Amino acid sequence: MSEERSAAVRISTRITREDCEEILDLAEKGDKSVLPRVREVLDEFPDLVSDVGDLTRIAKGGMLDMLSNGNVMVREAEDRHLASMVEEIAGPCPAVIERLLAEQIAVCWLHVRHIEIKYAHLKSYTLSEAEYYQRCLDRSQKRYLSAIKTLAQIRKLGLPALQVNIAADGGKQVNVAGREP
């Protein structure tokens, strides 16, 4: 058992984050041969879900700080508004991936709003600055719509019925796609 484990560790230590992209690209094209490598990726990064969740939380915190401009009351109100938005989007008993996507949608919405507010509050601006804001706004709206589309796809595919169990250290298990009991 310990030999198997050490062998798995030896294999997985060869995977880098760049490899992950390559493996996923092949897997997306339907290359069945990379499926064991995909599972290896999930084994290699057992904290993937919490890491991604942290990234979303960091983004949300940063956006709230920028929007509130040091006003604690505004920050708290915005934070609550976002939390209720996430609850509404995620729905009752969301799968972990659905919840992450719901949080991502909320963060993207906040980003769109941040740019709109900054743009609207400009007292004077040059033509190039207006173009820059317009480009930022276009990109953020695209990102926002893409997050919504991904959540819709996940729901359409009925992924919550399926589940990926990621074994972490200390016998802890992370269920990526399973619904909460």
Partner 1 sequence: MAWESRKGVGRYYTRSKRVGSRVKRQYIGTGSAAEVIAALDADTRRIREEERAARIVRKDQMERATALVDRSCAGVMGLTRTVLVANGYYRHHRGEWRKRRV
Footprint on residues 3-32 left by partner 1 (CB under 8 A): 20-21, 24, 27-30, 32
Please identify which residue in 83, 157, 167, 168 interacts with partner 1, judged by CB under 8 A.
157
Site track 37-66 with partner 1 (rule: CB under 8 A), x = hit: -xx-xx-----xx-xx--xx-xx--xx--x
The CA distance from 172 to 49, in Å, is 13
Tell me whether residue 43 is exposed, middle or buried, using C-beta atoms within 10 angstroms of its C-beta: 0 to 12, 13 to 18, 19 or more: middle
**Residue 88 Cβ, how far from partner 1 at the closest point, in Å?**
18
- On whether the CB atoms of residues 173 and 166 are closer than 8 A, the answer is yes
Q: How far is CA 98 from CA 95, 161, 177, 180, in A?
A: 5, 12, 8, 11
- On whether the CB atoms of residues 96 and 175 are closer than 8 A, the answer is yes
The CA distance from 172 to 2, in Å, is 18
- On whether the CB atoms of residues 112 and 67 are closer than 8 A, the answer is no
Q: Which stretch binds partner 1 (CB under 8 A): 7-15, 70-78, 79-87, 124-132?
A: 124-132
**Residue 38 Cβ, how far from partner 1 at the closest point, in Å?**
5
Token pair in block for residue 51: 């890491």
Single-letter amino acid code for the residue at 124: S
83 near partner 1, rule: CB under 8 A: no
86 near partner 1, rule: CB under 8 A: no
Please identify which residue in 132, 134, 167, 180 interacts with partner 1, judged by CB under 8 A.
132
Binding stretches for partner 1 (CB under 8 A): 20-21, 24, 27-30, 32, 35, 38-39, 41-42, 48-49, 51-52, 55-56, 58-59, 62-63, 66, 97, 100-101, 103-104, 107-108, 111, 114-115, 118, 122, 124-125, 129, 132-133, 136, 139-140, 143, 146-147, 150, 153-154, 157, 159, 162, 164, 176-177
